[in-house]
Amino acid sequence: MIRAFVDRIETDERGEPIAVLLVALGEGDYLHWLCPLAWLPPDTREGSWLQAAFTPDEQAQAEMRHEIESLLQELQGE
């Protein structure tokens, strides 16, 4: 589980609100993660703490594998 701190909320070049999240990598070392505010819980504010978890997307992986295999077959003339 990854913990992220909402450092601030800004507006991107399209006028959409984005959250600047800080993720601790080590002592005094932080990753700045820009995330659309719409992707976060509705009550997210500056100073909020969030948890994130990444899980494999088996369906997307299978679809991409199929697409790549199809393109390779097409290129090889099969």
Q: What is the mean pLDDT of the chain?
A: 94
Residue 78 has pLDDT above 80, yes or no: no
| Degrees, nearest 5: CA angle 30-11-8 | 35
Residue 77 has pLDDT above 90, yes or no: no
Domain ranges of the chain: 2-75
**Residue 29: CA count within 13 A, CB half-sphere:** 3
